[in-house]
Amino acid sequence: MTTEEKRLNTAFLMMGSMLEKWKSNDPSIDRRYITRCYYEVVGKKSTGWVSREARKDNAKTTDDHFATPQWIGRFIMDEGDIYLKDFAKFREITEFASQTIKVTKKENTELAKQSSVISEIDGKNVFIETPLQDKYAEAEIFPLYHKKNGIGYVYEFPIDFPPELLEYERKFLREERLDKTP
């Protein structure tokens, strides 16, 4: 078993062991810490997509987890009867969460401003301001480029999100956003 497989298995077991306390909203646990631990295990796997600005010479770049792994950690916990009972499903959503797009550090800072603080969502009136699929458009990070796909530049987000993740996200979107989201 590789180190990556051990870490993934450990996250699966650790999150599974916390599931009942998560479901009952046990005040003795730190919900943010659980999702942060998940974030730490996700890793980075390049999709090959790059922002136009990140392609420029001397651009200071970073790899953006476009799917917000800490949010996906929360999704896994809230949907634990599915993702924490079936390691194959857990691995699949984690592989999705690990994907990155190369952007500039400035672009990454703009994207980070769109993410709600995970701990503030629980029991408070904080909602997601920008749907995952719209983050790049809202931050004006288009077009994206992929040298191997034969397309070149695209002006729409090129990666499909799992429908169950988008449905989950809808519960947390501000009402004015719900009207605009498919």
- The residue written with tokens 């969460």 in the block is 97
Confidence band for 148, pLDDT divided at 50, 70 and 90: confident
Who contacts 85 (Cβ-Cβ below 8 Å, separation ≥6)?
16
Q: How far apart are CA 39 and CA 41, in angstroms?
A: 6
Whether 79 and 123 have beta carbons less than 8 Å apart is answered as no
Structural element, H or E, at residue 6: helix 3-17
Phi-psi bin for 25: left (phi > 0), alpha (psi -120 to 50), beta?
Answer: left
For residues 102 and 63, the answer to whether their CB atoms sit within 8 Å is yes
SS3 (DSSP) at 108 = helix
pLDDT score recorded for residue 170: 86
Say whether pLDDT at 131 is over 80: yes
pLDDT tens by residue, 40-99: 999 999 999 999 999 999 999 999 999 989 889 999 999 999 999 999 999 999 999 999
Mean pLDDT of 152-156: 85
Residues 92-116 have a mean pLDDT of 89
* Domain carrying residue 44: 3-178
How many distinct structural domains can be found in the chain? 1
125-134 average pLDDT score: 71
Does residue 150 have a pLDDT over 70?
A: no
Q: What is the pLDDT of residue 113?
A: 77
The pTM (predicted TM-score) of the whole model is 0.86
Cis, bond preceding 131 (omega within 30 deg of 0): no
Higher pLDDT, 117 or 172: 172
Q: Model confidence at 130, in pLDDT bands (50, 70, 90)? A: confident
